[in-house]
Structure 1
Amino acid sequence: MSNDDQEELARRAAAGDSAALNELLGLIRPNVLRRCARFLPCWQDAEEACQDVLLQVARNIDRFEGRSAFSTWLHVVIANSARQTYRSLKRRAAEEAHEHPPVEVPDPRTTSVIAGSRLDLLDALERIEARKPELVAPMVLRDICQLEYREIAVQLSIPEGTVKSRIHQARGQVREYLTQGM
């Protein structure tokens, strides 16, 4: 199915066509899962985020206005849901650690470098979001979702120059955070 077909399904679903919504959800699921896996190092966590994204799409498709491509709108939903899943998992892990201190500490030599890098990036984004939340979305949409500056500007309703500036600032802060942790 082409992108045009997906866009048409999204428009029909936004207009209240439940058959189009079901078809759209089935169509986007594999892509959503792959994109969630870019954020979250554990496949089960990516699957949890994927289910959350599909639920958010089903609940909020009527908010899709067609100002940007459906895929752009979907990237924003994916990024927000994956980051929320990460925060939720982090909170649960902290609660469990408090209730049941871990017996075994993972060996850093056997921990995936990619997984560790993703977690470091998510931690950095969380720190930035606490201080300057407006910097996070543009960077995530550009560097993780790989959207064009123009698409990000449309999605966030800000000028393209502002998008570039915020991405530059966010990257600098992420770099600073990551080099402190080393």
Structure 2
Amino acid sequence: MDLMSRARAGDGEAFRALTEPHRRELQVHCYRMLGSFQDAEDALQDTMLAAWRGLDRFDGRATLRTWLYRIATNRCLDALRSARRRPARQWDVPGTEPPEPTGLGEIHWLEPYPDALLDDAFGVPLGPEARYEQTESISLAFVTALQVLPPRQLAVLILRDVLGFRAHEVAQMLDTTVESVKSALKRARAGMRRRLPVPREQPPARDSAAEEEIVAKFVSAYESADIDALVALFTDDVFMSMPPIPLEYRGRDSVARFCAFLFASGRRSELAPTRANGQPALEVYRPTPAGRRGAGLFVLTLAGGRISALTRFDETVLGFGLPQSLPGAPAPASATGAEDSTQEVARCGR
């Protein structure tokens, strides 16, 4: 008896053998649609449960992979229509008031996706209609831009331009016509052109000496509260956001004021390197009486030899393989660094 026959007869191991090769790419698909690691995991579990219960309805006219994508896409559309989103959170550090932001973010539910989980997903060949590189299509800028699209346009763009499914395949997945798919794709592409920033310079290659140098400079400047060294790493139009807090800061002076405010408040952190969304990332550790505890994640977007975007996630996401806490006493913060940062707040506020 083959795997499909065994799975239809109720063999759970056979079902896992059939679906496991597609699990990680389906999770990434759900993440692109929902923008949240946790929501994507929930949608993946719903997909697998629906596939298990509905295996008798798989008629073999499409591949099992395509059938699973159909289920996953529609589960994500259901989640988007239900509007169950992680709520925005207000600034809640007692005794501090951040500088006036340049804007308020809409996508407060955004979460990072660990690079450690991407290998299996990126090993799958894309279809002939794909227009985006795999690494580009998981970047924070790309995922953020996707979240603004209407749900049906979002699904069509991912299925067509990211995964490379043909128009008739997408029409079957969404129970619609090829003409509707083409129309939705045209509008989705226009929306992405408006929202997706075009980098003036390409980032350094992954794990290259140039990338490592920028990250090392950022770590050194941030851990020592050296505002001048930190600002020197930013592009003129650098952008900083911090989901789920909706505050956004755009431009070197604005981001400098916020970083100087953090340093002046006496908050100190240690940073440990990792990767998220195909980009360099840093786990944030804060001092506690028992040592240092994970307190979030920075994801850096690089342009040439500088940082063009800085996303600070306040909550640690599972999957990065880093410890939740570190033993031992934290490195002492320099009094001079805090004093200089206080002066910088005053200077930036003029």
TM range, smaller chain: 0.5 to 0.7
Aligned in 2, Cα 1:34/1:19: closer, same or farther, shift over 3 Å?
A: same
Larger Rg: 2
Equivalents in 2 of 1:27, 1:172: separation in Å?
32
C-alpha deviation, 1:150, in angstroms: 4.8
- For 2:91, the equivalent position in structure 1 comes to 103
Describe how 1:1-182 pairs up with structure 2 within 5 A: 9-10=3-4, 12-14=6-8, 16-88=10-82, 90-93=83-86, 96=87, 102-103=90-91, 114-126=139-151, 129=152, 139-152=157-170, 162-163=177-178, 165-177=179-191
Equivalents in 1 of 2:12, 2:81: separation in Å?
31
Contact 2:160 2:166 in 1 (8 A): yes
- Greater alpha carbon shift after TM alignment, 50-59 vs 14-23: 14-23
Contact 2:26 2:44 in 1 (8 A): yes
Gaps of 5+ in 2: 93-100, 113-137, 197-350
Aligned in 2, Cα 1:175/1:22: closer, same or farther, shift over 3 Å?
A: closer
Equivalents in 1 of 2:173, 2:74: separation in Å?
13
- 1:145 maps to amino acid: L
Aligned in 2, Cα 1:35/1:17: closer, same or farther, shift over 3 Å?
A: same
Q: Which structure carries more helix by proportion?
A: 1
Equivalents in 2 of 1:92, 1:136: separation in Å?
17
User: Match of 1:91, SS?
Assistant: coil
Gaps of 5+ in 1: 1-7, 130-134
C-alpha deviation, 1:52, in angstroms: 1.9
User: Match of 1:74, SS?
Assistant: helix
- For 1:5, the equivalent position in structure 2 comes to none
- 2:15 maps to amino acid: L
Contact 2:70 2:174 in 1 (8 A): no
Q: Which structure carries more strand by proportion?
A: 2
Equivalents in 1 of 2:79, 2:140: separation in Å?
15
Equivalents in 2 of 1:42, 1:139: separation in Å?
18
Equivalents in 2 of 1:50, 1:156: separation in Å?
18
Aligned in 2, Cα 1:179/1:155: closer, same or farther, shift over 3 Å?
A: closer
The count of aligned residue pairs is 156
C-alpha deviation, 1:58, in angstroms: 1.5
More contact order relative to length (CA 8 Å, sep ≥ 6): 1
Equivalents in 2 of 1:69, 1:25: separation in Å?
12
The normalised TM-score by structure 1 is 0.60
Equivalents in 2 of 1:30, 1:170: separation in Å?
27
Equivalents in 1 of 2:171, 2:35: separation in Å?
28
Equivalents in 1 of 2:46, 2:149: separation in Å?
23
